[in-house]
C-alpha cells in the first residue's frame, strides 16, 4: 500500500517543476519515484518474487531498442554537430528513471492490482493538488516561490501551462476508467466527480491541444461505449436496443438531408469553435501554429542530415527566428513527440515508439476497456504538437494498458522451451 501511494505521488506530481527541494537538483515527483524504485529494489533483494510477463517483455524490448537508437544517435551527434551536455544528461536521466519505473511496475506479482491501486491514489492526489493550485491562482492562499500564472494562462505548480494541460488530459480518462470499472458506488462517484475539477483546471491552462484532446477523447469513448452496449445484447436484444440501432443506421441519410441547412450556420459554428481556443483563434493561436510548423520543418531537416540515425538525447534545433523569441532556450525542441524522437534516435526510435503505443492499444482492446482506449487516444493526440515522452504519467498509462490486456505470465509451453 505504501509503495502504491509513493508511485502515485511521484506520477501525479511530476509536473510540479516549481516545487523545489532545498539543496537538491530534483523535485518532489522525482523524489517519490526514486523512493518507490529503492523500495521495489530492496523488496527484490529481500527475496520477493518477480513475474516475467508479456507486458514486461514488451517494455524491456522497447527500452533496449530505444537505448540502442539513442546510443547510435549520440555517436553521430558527437561526430557531426555540437552537443549540449546539460540537456543530454537531463534526458538520459529521465529515460533511466522511466525504464526503472515501467519495468519494475510490470514485473510486480499481480501488477494489474497494484497499478489500479496506484491509479486511485493518483486521482486522489491530483485533485487534492488541484484544489491547492486553484487557491493559489485566485489568491485565496499564498505559497512562496510559486507563480501560478504564465501571463493569462494557468500553470499552477508546473513550469508552463502545457505541462499541466497534459496531466489534466490523462488524469481525466484515467479517472473515467476507474469509475466505469469499479463495483463501488462511492468509487464511481469519486471517479466521475473528479472529472469536473480536472476539466476546469485544464481549461484554465488555455491549451488548444487540451481542448482538442478532450473533445476527441470524449467522442471516441462515447462511440466505444455505444459499440459495447450494442454488442452485449446478443440474440436477446431488447426493443429499445433495436430502435437505437435503427436510428444509428438512419442517421447518415438524415445528416445528408440536413447538410444544406447546416452549411448556412457554418460561420456561427466556426466562431463558436474559435471562442474556445486560446485568444479566440486570434494572433496567439496563429503565432503558435506558425512556430510549430517552422520547428517541425527544422526537425525533419535535422533528422535527415543525420541519415535518420538521430543526434542523441536532448533538443537539437536552433532558436526559431520567425517571432521575437529571444527568451527561449537554446537549443530548442520540435514540440512533437515523433519529430523530437526522430532527431534524437532516428527512424529506429520512431518505429519503436509506434510499436509500443500500438501494443498498448491492442492490449487495451483485448482487455475490452473503452476508457483505457480513450487514455491511449489522449496520449496520441497530445503527442502530435508536444513532446510528452519524458513524462511519467504517459508511461504509467501505457504500462497500465499493457498489463491489463496481456496474460500475467507466458504460456507453460513457452516456458518449458526456455524462451
DSSP output for 225-248: HHHHHHHTTGGG--HHHHHHHHHH
3-state secondary structure of 27: strand
Of the candidates 337, 284, 340, the residue with the CA atom closest to the CA atom of residue 314: 340
Quote the DSSP letter at residue 46.
Answer: T
For the chain, what are the domain ranges? 2-232+282-416
CA 266 to chain centre: 33
pTM given for the model: 0.87
CB neighbour burial string for 94-105, b if at least 16 within 10 angstroms, e if fewer: bbebbbbbbbbb
pLDDT in tens, the chain (419 residues): 788 999 999 999 999 999 888 878 788 999 999 999 999 999 888 887 888 889 999 999 999 999 999 999 999 999 988 888 888 998 999 999 999 999 999 998 888 899 999 999 999 999 999 999 999 999 999 988 899 999 889 999 999 999 999 999 999 999 999 999 988 899 999 999 999 999 999 999 999 899 999 999 998 988 888 777 777 655 445 555 555 555 555 555 655 554 564 445 444 434 434 444 455 555 566 667 777 788 888 889 888 988 999 999 988 887 776 555 544 566 678 889 999 999 999 999 999 999 999 999 999 999 888 899 999 999 999 999 999 999 999 999 999 999 997 776 655 444 444 43
- Cα–Cα distance, 295 to 316 (Å, whole number): 11
- Cα–Cα distance, 30 to 17 (Å, whole number): 10
Of the candidates 201, 178, 179, the residue with the CA atom closest to the CA atom of residue 189: 179
Question: What was the pLDDT predicted at 82?
Answer: 80
- For residue 332, list its beta bridge partners: 317
Question: What was the pLDDT predicted at 148?
Answer: 94
Task: Give the position of cell 530492496.
Answer: 42
Question: What was the pLDDT predicted at 267?
Answer: 47
Question: What was the pLDDT predicted at 274?
Answer: 46
380, 211 Cβ separation under 8 angstroms = no
**78 Cβ neighbours under 8 A, 6+ residues apart:** 312
Amino acid at each position: 500500500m505504501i509503495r502504491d501511494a509513493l508511485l502515485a505521488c511521484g506520477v501525479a506530481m511530476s509536473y510540479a517543476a516549481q516545487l523545489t527541494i532545498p539543496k537538491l537538483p530534483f523535485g518532489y515527483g522525482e523524489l517519490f519515484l526514486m523512493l518507490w524504485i529503492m523500495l521495489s529494489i530492496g523488496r527484490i533483494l529481500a527475496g520477493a518474487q518477480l513475474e516475467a510477463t508479456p507486458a514486461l517483455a514488451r517494455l524491456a524490448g522497447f527500452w533496449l531498442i530505444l537505448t540502442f537508437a539513442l546510443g547510435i544517435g549520440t555517436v553521430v551527434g558527437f561526430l557531426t554537430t555540437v552537443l549540449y551536455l546539460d540537456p543530454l544528461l537531463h534526458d538520459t536521466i529521465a529515460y533511466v528513471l522511466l525504464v526503472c519505473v515501467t519495468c519494475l511496475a510490470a514485473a510486480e506479482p499481480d501488477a494489474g492490482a497494484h497499478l489500479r491501486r496506484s491509479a486511485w491514489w493518483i486521482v486522489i492526489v491530483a485533485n487534492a493538488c488541484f484544489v491547492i493550485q486553484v487557491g493559489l491562482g485566485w489568491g485565496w492562499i499564498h505559497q512562496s516561490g510559486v507563480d501560478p500564472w504564465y501571463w493569462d494562462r494557468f500553470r499552477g505548480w508546473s513550469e508552463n501551462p502545457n505541462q499541466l494541460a497534459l496531466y489534466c488530459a490523462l488524469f481525466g480518462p484515467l479517472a473515467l476508467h476507474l469509475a466505469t470499472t469499479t463495483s463501488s458506488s462511492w468509487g464511481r462517484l469519486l471517479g466521475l466527480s473528479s472529472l469536473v475539477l480536472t476539466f476546469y483546471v485544464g481549461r484554465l491552462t488555455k491549451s488548444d491541444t487540451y481542448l482538442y484532446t478532450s473533445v476527441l477523447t470524449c467522442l471516441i469513448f462515447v462511440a466505444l461505449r455505444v459499440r459495447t452496449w450494442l454488442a452485449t445484447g446478443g440474440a436477446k436484444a431488447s426493443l429499445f436496443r433495436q430502435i437505437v440501432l435503427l436510428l444509428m443506421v438512419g442517421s447518415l441519410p438524415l445528416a445528408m438531408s440536413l447538410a444544406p441547412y447546416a452549411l448556412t450556420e457554418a460561420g456561427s459554428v466556426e466562431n463558436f469553435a474559435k471562442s474556445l481556443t486560446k485568444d479566440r483563434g486570434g494572433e496567439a493561436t496563429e503565432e503558435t501554429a506558425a512556430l510549430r510548423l517552422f520547428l517541425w520543418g527544422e526537425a525533419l531537416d535535422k533528422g535527415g542530415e543525420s541519415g535518420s540515425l538521430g543526434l542523441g538525447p536532448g533538443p537539437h534545433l536552433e532558436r526559431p527566428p520567425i517571432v521575437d523569441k529571444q527568451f527561449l532556450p537554446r537549443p530548442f525542441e520540435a514540440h512533437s513527440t515523433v519529430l523530437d524522437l526522430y532527431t534524437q534516435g532516428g527512424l529506429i526510435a520512431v518505429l519503436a515508439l509506434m510499436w509500443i503505443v500500438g501494443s498498448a492499444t491492442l492490449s487495451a482492446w483485448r482487455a475490452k476497456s473503452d476508457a483505457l482506449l480513450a487514455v491511449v487516444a489522449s496520449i496520441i493526440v497530445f503527442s502530435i504538437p508536444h513532446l510528452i515522452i519524458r513524462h511519467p504519467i504517459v508511461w504509467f498509462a501505457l504500462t497500465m494498458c499493457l498489463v491489463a490486456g496481456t496474460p500475467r505470465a507466458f504460456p507453460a509451453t513457452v516456458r518449458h522451451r526456455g524462451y
